Structure 1
Amino acid sequence: MSMYFHLRAVPPSALRNSATWFQRLFEDDWDTVRERIGRHREEVLDKRYGEFELLYSGIPPNQAPDGPCTQVVLGGRPVTATDTSLPPFRLLTASQVTGVAGFLRAADFDGLWRHARVRLLQPYDVPDPEPEVRGLFAATHRDLTAFYTRTAEYGDAVVKWPVP
């Protein structure tokens, strides 16, 4: 079973501070979510989402000071799932989303890559993995920047959850 990290934009007026509501948000299909909250924007990272956290924070998750760079992937206020065996949800307020969007728009991808490059390439035991791996990270960086920028433009919050 592979874990995926889902990020969903939610208008603050539709947001409910309920783990049950958060769980339904991720269990429902896109059309149901769009119908319930009025629109739908989502980003999905594959099981390597921790590597993307490393790209932005520069150190392993949960060890960097809180701020826009550490909120891109795993950041946000934890909300315990109703089933405590599941990982907690993460909630970024609209204000935090605006900060993350600004960080990503201003971020120098080449600088981020240079800083984390050696550690990001370690898991890949193939000759010269850099072009392909760097391309993957660059594309995901563009996708995350677009997701957060659009979400900030709407003034929405973001709910995150690693789900199977």
Structure 2
Amino acid sequence: MSVHMHLRAVAMPEIQDDHSWLAEFMSDAWDRLPEEYEAGVATSIDTAFDSVNRFYAWAAGLPASAAFAAGPDGESPWQLPVYGGRAVPHAAGADPSDPPMGLLEPPGVSAAADFLSKVSFDELWNAAGAELGSRFDGEEPARSLYREEHRSLLKFYGRAAAAGHAVVRVVWA
């Protein structure tokens, strides 16, 4: 089974803060994923999204960590790119198998973009690489995977922040 975290940038006035509405919106967006990637309004992380979050958590121990601004709700900046924001609850009586949804509002998107633009991939890798590389077929394949995820998130959040957008997050299984 394949699991993906799908992230979609969208202007706040265009969305409804409702799980059912967001699930339909994100399902439609998933069906158009190649075009949305091309437009720069979507990205996804494969089953390694929890590992990508743990990779960013290593930033807490970096000497530059004091320079990273906290999220608007006091979240650590390294939490924002993957799990930032708040959960969007299911409506009463909704199907509990509906996918989990999250919403990171524009100030959080800006904080995530700021963190991603300031954190050094190489410094993070030097701190976390040995642990993360042991879960793959060696350190270099893992490094390439994490570097690509970082580049994708950096570009995505940079565009979303520049446009003043929120980010909707869903996990598809």
What TM-score, normalized by structure 2, do the two folds share? Answer: 0.79
Aligned to 2:69: none
C-alpha separation in 2, matches of 1:19 and 1:4: 18
C-alpha separation in 1, matches of 2:58 and 2:130: 11
Aligned to 2:147: 138
Aligned with 1:73 (options 53, 65, 82): 82
1:7–1:159 contact (8 Å) kept in structure 2: yes
Give the 5 Å matches for 1:1-164.
1-28=1-28, 29-30=31-32, 41-58=41-58, 66-81=75-90, 82-124=94-136, 126=137, 129-164=138-173
Unaligned runs of 5+ in 2: 60-73
Aligned to 1:62: none
* 1:21-59 deviation line (CA, Å, top 9, x unaligned): 11012211228x97xxxx771111101111100111139
Count of matched residue positions in the alignment of Structure 1 and Structure 2? 151
More helix by share: 2
- What's the % identity of the aligned pairs? 32
Unaligned runs of 5+ in 1: 60-64
Aligned to 2:64: none
What TM-score, normalized by structure 1, do the two folds share? Answer: 0.83
C-alpha separation in 2, matches of 1:104 and 1:92: 15
Q: Residues 91 and 115 of structure 1: is their aligned pair in 2 closer, same or farther, counting only changes over 3 Å? A: same
Secondary structure class of the residue paired with 2:84: coil
C-alpha separation in 2, matches of 1:40 and 1:122: 32
